[in-house]
Structure 1
């Protein structure tokens, strides 16, 4: 929801765009100019007064609130508390993943065993958590950036590591457009950030394509999950066979072989 201070900031911008002076506004509101200046400077006034200024500007209050909401910075990630609330209920987590995929309420109801009342209730919870802004008609605006990611060691990733990772990799990855790559190597540490940046670009491209293809009929789209990862890692079964105190590598004689 928009705060009063945000609404007043937006009102000031609208007044400037309309070239309406504080003196002219005060006259139309039946107030002293000093009172109008004081209210706007404090950043706090009753919603009834904001609504009155909207009428002077011939601006619908709902439109003002929507403009404020649309101007808010999008979230790159959630807090620990927000993620903990999401994973506390599997159906809420399902709804969170659905809105991340830009599904409509109708699509969710057609695909999953949720009643309309349940689904709307979960949308309300996601609005309270801060993932979406719920709008009339059970439409919503996603408040997450295209580069949004779950916290690497947060509640949601912990949940997926525990419950979903084996399920994901249990697939054959042999369908059209599917595949899994496992590449091991030893590279310069200075190059690792560059590789990670490329992976992030792939993720952003995938997210942008998802948004672009929402215009296509549902029959022409395929639900996919892209998993990208890069870390220093050794298979635990191999690590268990390592020597506790490995012998130093033998030097190689110049021009010869060991």
Structure 2
């Protein structure tokens, strides 16, 4: 399969993932649905049309190319046992987070108190987990997909909730590099689903921004954590004040 064909197949996957159809594409491009089907069948798109579709999907064109390059062989998540092996080894955890965020070998070695031998040892462990490929000259090639994620309620997520969340929120969030926004309101299940889709788009924008800035020197980039969360939830104290009939409903 040529790169052009692979790019169009990746675009089709992105359309399916967002529940979009040829009819949607036809509307965006001001074409008939039959014309759009022919474009996909012939895999013949102008760059302007590809960019238009990407805009409608809230997808950077560069991100589409990166997704194509990732391919199905890229790792999307680890097993519970693999995550546990990372959590149990704090040095391995540190190096794993670094490489997922694009650190080079030298950047890890110079920024943290790890010898070259210790760095290599941990990188070889990550290679066995298929997170990376360690190349000659200690160059690191990431093997994680663009949508790589930690297991829901897995060892990494539980570690964050038990050990990191309290430290993260132990701040006044009043400096120029911090912001805390707490939203509360009433949403239907459909509204909740729509808001979750918005959160997914924000997450994609965050990762796309990280990729765009990945070429900057490491001293110009800083560890940045953003937590996006939503629940159908009410503070326990408020629950205690609910009328009995309402609480049973």
Q: Matches of 2:145 and 2:70 in 1, distance apart? A: 12
Does the Cα contact within 8 Å between 1:134 and 1:140 map onto a contact in 2?
A: yes
**Could you say what secondary structure the match of 1:216 adopts?**
coil
How far off its partner does 1:72 sit? Answer: 5.2
**Could you say what secondary structure the match of 1:140 adopts?**
strand
Does the Cα contact within 8 Å between 1:75 and 1:143 map onto a contact in 2?
A: yes
* Structure 2 spans left out of the alignment, 5+ residues: 1-68
Q: Which residue of 2 aligns with 1:45?
A: none
* Structure 1 spans left out of the alignment, 5+ residues: 1-68, 250-258
Does the Cα contact within 8 Å between 1:77 and 1:149 map onto a contact in 2?
A: yes
Q: Which residue of 1 aligns with 2:99?
A: 99
How far off its partner does 1:182 sit? Answer: 0.8
Q: TM-score if structure 2 supplies the norm length?
A: 0.66
**Residues 112, 248 of structure 1: alpha-carbon distance in 2 compared, 3 angstrom cutoff:** closer
Q: Matches of 1:76 and 1:97 in 2, distance apart? A: 15
Does the Cα contact within 8 Å between 1:146 and 1:204 map onto a contact in 2?
A: no
1:81 paired to 2:81? yes
Over the aligned positions, Cα root-mean-square deviation in angstroms equals: 2.3
Q: Matches of 2:132 and 2:159 in 1, distance apart? A: 21
**Residues 245, 221 of structure 1: alpha-carbon distance in 2 compared, 3 angstrom cutoff:** same
Q: Which residue of 2 aligns with 1:154?
A: 154
Q: Matches of 2:212 and 2:236 in 1, distance apart? A: 41
Q: Matches of 1:209 and 1:132 in 2, distance apart? A: 22
Q: Which residue of 2 aligns with 1:202?
A: 202
Q: Which residue of 1 aligns with 2:20?
A: none
Higher relative contact order (CA 8 A, sep 6+): 2
Q: Matches of 2:77 and 2:247 in 1, distance apart? A: 45
**Structure showing greater Rg:** 1
**Residues 233, 141 of structure 1: alpha-carbon distance in 2 compared, 3 angstrom cutoff:** same
Kindly provide the CA deviation profile for residues 203-247 of structure 1, in whole angstroms up to 9, marking residues without a partner as x.
111111111112122333232111111112222333344455448
**Could you say what secondary structure the match of 1:214 adopts?**
coil
Q: Which residue of 1 aligns with 2:46?
A: none
Q: Which residue of 2 aligns with 1:110?
A: 110
Does the Cα contact within 8 Å between 1:146 and 1:208 map onto a contact in 2?
A: no
Paired residues, what number? 181
